[in-house]
Amino acid sequence: MDMMINVALPKGRLGDKAYAILEKSGYPCPAMKEDNRKLTFENEEIGVRYFLVKPSDVAVYVERGAADIGIAGKDILLEYKPDVYELLDLKMGCCRMCVAGPKDFRDDPAQTLRVATKFPNIARMYYSGLSREIELIHLNGSIELAPLVGLSDVIVDIVETGKTLLENGLAPLEEIVPISARLIANKASFKFKGERLRRLCAQMERTMNL
């Protein structure tokens, strides 16, 4: 069996921050600092291997065991419900899943609400909890455009600073759930490499609290 710990890191700012914590926690990988286009890096001495993954794919790598652990946004975990363990709230990448729309938007219960989103399951769950009938419009990005051009009435999307909404004349209307990055683990790995993964998790938690 592969006794390395395989870590799926999201490419980008969140991954850089998560790696900084891992490095401080005793899991450095100097090769990561080299500016190249490689996607895997390993430090054989301490038995850790990092994969750089598109953020929304981290949970797929971990759920299928290609990575033992990974860093994924709670938005992705809520949307795809991967069968993984959630070990730790990393309290980074913090933002809110919101309903947003024109500032003066008033919902007319007599009409089906048209909702554009990258997160159809979260949107469906939220509105079914409110018993509100909606028409879902599944987009892949630039969601804020949809209400501007009459494609939808509102959007369900991530709001971090609120700048994108503001610059497009939109406003957050309702908060659905706060979001942050989580350390997740593959269930089988947690059985077979449990002690090492628990140690890694505890060390990350300690570093975060320093």
**Binding positions for ligand PRP, rule: CB under 6 A:** 118, 141-144, 157-164
Strand 134-138 vs strand 85-89: parallel, antiparallel, or unpaired?
unpaired
* Identity of the residue numbered 104: D
Strands 154-159 and 134-138, bridge-based pairing = unpaired
Q: How far is the CB of 117 from ligand PRP (least distance, A)?
A: 9
Q: How far is the CB of 203 from ligand PRP (least distance, A)?
A: 30
Q: What number of CA atoms fall less than 13 Å from residue 60's CA on the CB side?
A: 7
**Closer residue to ligand PRP (CB): 125 or 145:** 145
User: Helices 13-24 and 194-209 meet at what angle, rounded to 10?
Assistant: 100
Residue nearest to ligand PRP (CB): 141
Distances (CA, A) of 54 to 10, 60, 69, 110, 147: 6, 10, 15, 41, 27
Q: Which is nearer to ligand PRP, 60 or 98 (CB)?
A: 98
Residue placing its CB nearer to ligand PRP in the complex, 28 or 162? 162
Nearer to ligand PRP, 60 or 156 (CB): 156
Compute CA distances 41 → 5, 6, 87, whole Å: 12, 10, 23
Rounded to a whole number of angstroms, the minimum distance from the CB of residue 147 to ligand PRP is 13
Q: What's the min distance (Å) between Cβ of 107 and ligand PRP?
A: 22
79/144 with CB nearer ligand PRP: 144
CB of 180 to ligand PRP, least distance (A): 14
Do the strands 154-159 and 113-117 form a parallel or antiparallel pair, or are they unpaired? parallel
